[in-house]
C-alpha cells in the first residue's frame, strides 16, 4: 500500500493514472462516501499491484534477490521455480513482499446484540482477541452482568479469542472505594475469583483482563497481591490473565490514575498488559491529539525498561473528536468515527492539516451557527506511524479502543504491515 495526501486540484482520476490503479479500488479501500469531493490534506490509501521484475541478460536470482532485499528461496517460492538456474531474459518474476512481523491484535467493544455481532464479523479477520466491555465488580464480590453471549459466540465462530474484562468504575463513579473494599479483603477476592471463573466457563471466555482504574495510591501493594492471587487461581483453571494500565512515563509518576499501577509487578506476574495509550485528547478537556505518537513513545520508553516487550500491547483509539472553540473547561467534545471526521471536512470545505509532533491530523471549520470547531482524528498517516512504533519497540501487539467507529484505512494498513496471529 501507498499513502497519498491530496493536493489542490487533484481528483481520483488523476490519482488512478499516477499510480496505475482503478478508481473503484481507491474508493473501495478508503470507503469514500463522496468520491467526487476530495479535500486538501486528505490521506488516501492507494493499493499497489504486486511488484514485478523482467529478467535481463546476465541476471541470476541471487542478483535479483539482492536488488529487492529478499532471498533466492523467497523468489523461487513466489514463482514456483524448482531450479534457480532456469530463468531466462524476458521472464516476468513476481517479487515477494517483505516479511511482516506477527502480532496479537485485541479490540474492546461495548456494542452487543445483532449490531455487536455484525461488527465482530466484519473485523474478525484482523483480530486475535475480542474484549466485551465490561463486567463491573460489586462490593460483595459478585459481578454486574452484561448481554455478551452473542458477541462471544460470534468471536469464537470467527476464530477470535474472547477475553473477559472486569472493572471497578462506571460512568458516574471512579470506583476507588469499591476497589479498596475488594482489595482489602482476601475473602471477597476469593468470592470474586470464583464468580469470574464460573462466568468464563459459562460464557466461553478464555482469559481475563483486569481494568482497575483510580485505585488509591495506598492500595498499590494490595492490588499487586490481588494480581498474584488471580494468576494462581486462573492459571490453575487454564485461563490467561492480563491488565490494562494507565500510560505512565516513570515509576514515580503522581496522580490517582497512575500510582497504584506498578508496571514492573504487572509485567512480572501477568501474561501480558494493555497500555492505555490514548485519551490525551480527553472529551472534557481542551482539543488536542487523542493518541499523540510523541506521548505514546514516552510511555513505551519507560514501559520496556520494566515490562518484557513480548508482554506489551500498545493502545490505539478508533474514534475522532470535535471540540467547540473557544474551549470551556468541562465542555464535552463530540465523539464520532474517522469517516464522520472526513465527511465533515468535506461538508465544510476544511483543509486537513497534519501535526508532525503528535503525528495526527486535525482541522478547523465554522458551523452554520458561526461557531468554530477543532477536530482531531486518525488517518492513514497516523495509523502508519503507530504501526511503525509497534515495530520499532518490538511489541507483542495492538489493542484497539473501541469497535463501532468505522476506520477502514486502519484495517487495510494493519494487514499490510503485520500478520495477525490466530490462536483458534
Q: What is the pLDDT of residues 215-248, one digit of tens each?
A: 999 999 999 999 999 999 999 999 999 999 999 9
pLDDT at residue 373 in the model: 98
- C-alpha cell at position 173: 463513579
pLDDT of residue 186: 97
d(CA 142, CA 356): 47
Active site residues: 213
In whole angstroms, give the CA distance from residue 419 to residue 417: 7
C-alpha cell at 45: 490509501
- DSSP SS3 for 33: coil
In this prediction, residue 50 carries a pLDDT of 77
Give the per-residue pLDDT at 74: 86
CA distance 103 to 121: 20
Averaged pLDDT of the chain? 96
Note the pLDDT of residue 77: 84
Q: Which of 50-64, 111-125, 318-332 has the lowest mean pLDDT?
A: 50-64
Does residue 367 carry a pLDDT above 80?
A: yes
Distance CA 81, CA 396 (A): 35
Give the C-alpha separation, 97 to 226, whole Å.
Answer: 46
Total Cβ atoms within 10 A of residue 293: 20
For position 99, what pLDDT does the model report? 75
Q: Average pLDDT, stretch 295-304?
A: 98
The answer for residues whose C-beta is within 8 angstroms of residue 411's C-beta and 6 or more apart is 123, 126
Label residue 330 by pLDDT band (50, 70, 90). confident
Whether residue 349 is preceded by a cis peptide bond, meaning omega within 30 degrees of 0, is: no
SS3 label, residue 362 = strand
Quick one: which H or E segment has residue 378? none
pLDDT for the residue numbered 100: 86
Report whether 360 contacts 384 (CB < 8 A).
no
3-state helix, strand, coil in the chain (%, to 5): 40, 20, 40
Q: Return left, alpha or beta for 119; rule: phi > 0 is left, psi -120 to 50 is alpha, else beta.
A: alpha
Residues in the chain: 424
pLDDT in tens, 9-47: 999 999 999 999 999 999 999 999 889 999 999 999 999
User: Pairing mode, if any, of strands 360-366 and 372-376?
Assistant: antiparallel
23: nearest Cα among 11, 5, 9: 11
In terms of DSSP bridges, do strands 240-245 and 272-275 run parallel, antiparallel, or are they unpaired?
parallel
- What confidence tens digit (pLDDT) does each residue in 370-416 have? 999 999 999 999 999 999 999 999 999 999 999 999 999 999 999 99
How much is the pLDDT for 59? 92
Confidence of residue 356 (pLDDT cuts 50, 70, 90): very high
Q: pLDDT at residue 121 above 90?
A: yes
What pLDDT digit, counting tens, does each position of 60-105 carry?
Answer: 999 998 888 888 988 988 898 989 888 999 999 988 877 789 999 9
Q: Give the contacts of 340 (CB within 8 A, at least 6 positions apart).
A: 320
Amino acid at each position: 500500500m501507498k499513502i497519498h495526501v491530496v493536493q489542490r486540484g487533484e481528483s481520483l482520476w488523476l490519482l488512478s493514472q499516477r499510480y496505475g490503479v482503478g478508481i473503484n479500488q481507491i474508493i473501495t479501500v478508503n470507503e469514500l462516501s463522496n468520491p467526487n469531493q476530495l479535500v486538501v490534506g486528505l490521506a488516501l490509501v492507494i493499493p499497489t499491484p504486486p511488484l514485478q521484475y523482467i529478467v535481463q541478460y546476465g541476471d541470476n536470482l541471487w542478483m535479483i534477490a539482492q536488488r529487492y532485499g529478499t532471498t533466492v528461496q523467497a523468489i523461487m517460492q513466489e514463482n514456483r521455480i524448482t531450479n534457480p538456474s532456469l530463468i531466462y531474459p524476458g521472464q516476468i518474476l513476481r517479487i515477494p513482499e517483505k516479511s511482516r512481523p506477527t502480532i496479537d491484535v485485541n479490540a474492546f467493544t461495548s456494542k452487543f446484540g445483532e449490531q455487536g455481532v455484525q461488527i465482530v464479523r466484519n473485523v474478525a479477520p484482523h483480530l486475535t482477541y475480542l474484549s466485551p466491555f465490561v463486567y463491573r465488580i460489586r462490593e460483595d464480590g459478585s459481578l454486574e452482568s452484561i448481554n455478551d453471549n452473542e458477541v462471544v459466540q460470534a468471536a469464537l465462530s470467527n476464530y477470535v479469542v474472547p477475553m473477559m474484562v472486569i472493572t471497578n468504575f462506571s460512568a458516574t463513579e471512579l470506583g476507588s472505594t469499591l476497589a479498596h473494599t475488594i482489595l482489602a479483603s482476601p475473602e471477597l477476592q476469593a468470592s470474586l475469583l470464583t464468580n469470574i471463573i464460573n462466568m468464563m466457563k459459562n460464557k466461553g471466555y478464555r482469559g481475563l483482563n483486569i481494568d482497575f482504574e483510580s485505585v488509591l495510591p495506598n492500595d498499590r501493594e494490595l492490588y499487586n497481591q490481588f494480581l498474584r492471587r488471580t494468576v494462581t487461581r486462573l492459571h490453575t483453571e487454564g485461563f490467561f490473565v492480563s491488565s490494562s494500565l494507565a500510560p505512565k512515563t516513570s515509576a514515580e509518576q503522581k496522580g490517582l490514575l497512575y500510582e497504584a499501577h506498578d508496571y514492573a509487578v504487572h509485567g512480572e506476574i501477568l501474561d501480558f498488559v494493555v497500555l492505555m495509550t490514548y485519551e490525551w485528547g480527553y472529551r472534557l478537556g481542551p482539543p488536542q491529539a487523542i493518541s499523540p505518537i510523541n506521548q505514546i513513545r514516552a510511555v513505551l520508553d519507560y514501559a520496556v525498561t520494566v515490562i518484557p516487550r513480548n508482554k506489551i500491547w500498545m493502545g490505539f483509539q478508533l474514534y475522532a473528536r470535535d471540540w467547540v472553540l473557544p474551549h470551556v473547561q468541562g465542555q464535552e467534545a463530540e465523539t464520532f468515527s474517522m469517516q464522520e471526521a472526513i465527511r465533515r471536512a468535506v461538508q465544510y470545505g476544511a483543509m486537513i492539516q497534519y501535526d508532525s509532533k503528535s503525528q495526527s491530523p486535525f482541522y478547523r471549520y465554522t458551523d452554520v451557527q458561526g461557531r468554530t470547531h477543532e477536530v482531531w482524528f486518525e488517518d492513514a498517516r497516523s495509523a502508519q506511524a503507530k504501526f511503525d512504533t509497534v515495530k520499532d519497540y518490538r511489541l507483542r501487539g495492538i489493542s484497539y479502543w473501541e469497535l463501532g467507529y468505522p476506520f477502514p484505512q486502519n484495517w487495510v494498513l494493519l494487514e499490510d504491515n503485520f500478520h495477525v496471529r490466530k490462536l483458534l
